[in-house]
Amino acid sequence: MAEWCAALLATLALAGQAQVLYDGGKGNLPTAQGWSYAAVPGTATQGTMESGVRLNTLALNAESAGYARTISPALERAEGFAVAVRFHLRTERHTREERAGFSVIVLGADRRGIELGFWADGVFAQADEPLFSRGESVVVALADAPVTAVIALSGERYQLFVNEVPVLTGPIRDYTAFSGFPDVYETPNFIFLGDNTSSAAAEVDLFHVAIIRPPTLAVTASGALRWSGIPGQRYAVESSTDLRHWTRAGTAHSTTEEFSWQPFSELASEHFRVAFP
């Protein structure tokens, strides 16, 4: 969106190598974990709560507030990566069909990516032609309870999963035609969470934010695949006989960072890879 405050871009902090970008269980604000925060004109409130932070811009539709950071190592779409956000959109209102009180922006190393707007009952993409018009959308309940949204970017497309269910997909966008100030859309490896428009407002609880990158696989003596990943995330295991055509062979889930999957004996001669989500 175009309505940004200068402080947001001016105070961006480089992220570390950790996969987890925000852990609400630590009991502090995102700014204590490497995020920048800005609110203009300043009616927004933020405060810690059990297992997260609550951001509220309902006092004024013209209010814009949220959290931003740049990511290192670089977010390469050719390799594929995803951003997982657990949140509860308690309240959302808007005065325009192409605006949302809670938005997520994910830009890769080449400054291309996707911006998604979240309503209580749906999600839509911000198009780049015409710039910031309403793109593809889907009806999905977001206000009833906390949800986990995973935005996966790979090649020229993105896909959105809500509670592990694929709900929306579309092309990667290029928002660099925007010429306002500050222009965060010129920022590579960039993530924003919050209300970035003067035409909407929301109250949202943020619990957890993580980057999911392609895992590095190891094979145990018993032939099982092992890798490190995001606790609670479900990974798909795919198999192939020719390294060109891949089919789903199974899934792996773990409450810790350690994942494993044991192939069936009849598949032992095939090739395997782990995908996400």
* pLDDT tens by residue, 256-272: 888 999 887 554 567 88
pLDDT at 269: 64
> 28, 58, 31: which is closest to 204 by C-alpha?
58
| Mean pLDDT in residue range 8-19 | 35
**Residue 215 pLDDT level (bands cut at 50, 70, 90):** confident
What pairs with residue 92 in β-bridges? 202
- Please compute, for residue 277, the number of CA atoms within 13 A of its CA located in the half-sphere on the CB side: 26
User: How many other C-beta atoms are found inside a 10 Å radius of the C-beta of residue 27?
Assistant: 13
Residue 110 and residue 122 in contact, taking contact as beta carbons nearer than 8 Å: no
pLDDT tens-digit series, residues 82-118: 999 999 999 999 999 999 999 999 999 999 999 999 9
The fold of 6-212 is: Jelly Rolls (2.60.120)
Query: Which residues 6+ apart lie within 8 Å of 10 measured at CB?
Result: 182
What 13-18 contacts at long range (C-beta under 8 Å, 24+ apart), as own/partner pairs, is 13/69, 13/70, 14/69, 14/70, 14/72, 15/69, 15/70, 15/71, 15/72, 16/72, 17/72, 17/73
**Residue 275 pLDDT level (bands cut at 50, 70, 90):** confident
| Mean pLDDT in residue range 202-220 | 91
Report whether pLDDT(200) > 70. Answer: yes
Query: Between 15 and 164, where is the model more confident?
Result: 164
Report whether pLDDT(216) > 60. Answer: yes
pLDDT at 15: 29
Domain ranges of the chain: 6-212, 218-275
pLDDT at 7: 33
- Please compute, for residue 102, the number of CA atoms within 13 A of its CA located in the half-sphere on the CB side: 26
Query: Between 182 and 241, where is the model more confident?
Result: 241
Report whether pLDDT(56) > 70. Answer: yes
pLDDT tens-digit series, residues 153-168: 999 999 999 998 999 9
Q: Could you tell me what percent of the chain has a pLDDT over 70?
A: 91
Q: Which two tokens stand for residue 154?
A: 């790979």
pLDDT at 106: 98
pLDDT at 6: 31
| Mean pLDDT in residue range 124-137 | 97
Report whether pLDDT(134) > 50. Answer: yes
Average pLDDT of the residues of the chain: 88
